[in-house]
Structure 1
Amino acid sequence: MVSLRWDETEATEIVRRHDGREGPLLPILHDLQAAFGHVPEPAIAFLAQALNITRAEVHGVVSFYHDFRRQPAGRHVLKLCRAEACQSMDSEIFARRVLDRFNLDWGGTTPDGRVTIEPVYCLGLCASAPSAMLDGEPMARLNAASIDEIAREVSR
């Protein structure tokens, strides 16, 4: 179960599970995000101390990888592909349509917490462009009708 509140005891247990592992930062960050729905601000200093690295190193990893969130995501996460193959198949038009429908910018979450829209720079579905991922499920060969259906689905 995801808890949006920072819990140092739970974080300590997550770090302990990775004890002795080489290069534990990424797996720990993934587990923290799974536990808390995002990487909470206190996690940066906590991990730096626990792993004997700098806060800048932890922050650099969190900010470099697009999958790590600093704020909780909405109930639905819609990732829209922005890679070249999808762009060549009008993905930018579809993306603008969705962003405008929810009055969001990239990475934004609706005020009611229903949906977060994120850019992704390749889903590996290039032959089936344009593509997206809704709540971890890939969607390919999108068109105006399927984009509208996705928007309706996440609005429920």
Structure 2
Amino acid sequence: MMICLSDEAAQVAFGDALGRALAGRGVVHLTGELGAGKTTLARGILRAYGHRGAVKSPTYTLVEPYRLAGLQINHFDLYRLGDPEELEFIGARDLFGSDSLNLIEWPSRGAGWLPMPDLVISLSVSGPGRQAHLKAETAYGEAVIERLSVPSVD
């Protein structure tokens, strides 16, 4: 599924719709070049659960946990990860429960250690906007895509 996002507001609105479709659980890999909008999309997803503050990428801490609407949401940024084993040292394995939502930027840096994603979202720059390509990797990911109520371009 391909979705065209005309500007930052559209990207945040899409993230909000995606957050509602995720229903507070799952593993989502966010891919794309620097500046493609992975953190902006994460901000939209967090808004679906009531977060109204700033969202910055946890580049140096690797993970920023949020407790919102009684749900555990973990925002990972693995850009500066030297070795996937570092995730073990920070206790990340405990964060990947079936009752949590995990948003992972730069998942390729955690290859071999991260759990399989339910959904992979690849973002690319398209003029002033972005294109989001969604790919389900599990039955849950397929259900999330089916629940999304946004216009798509296939």
TM-score (norm 1): 0.28
Q: In proportion to residue count, which structure has more helix?
A: 1
Q: In proportion to residue count, which structure has more strand?
A: 2
Q: Which has the larger radius of gyration?
A: 1
The structure, 1 or 2, with the larger RCO (C-alpha pairs under 8 Å, 6+ apart) is: 2
TM-score (norm 2): 0.29
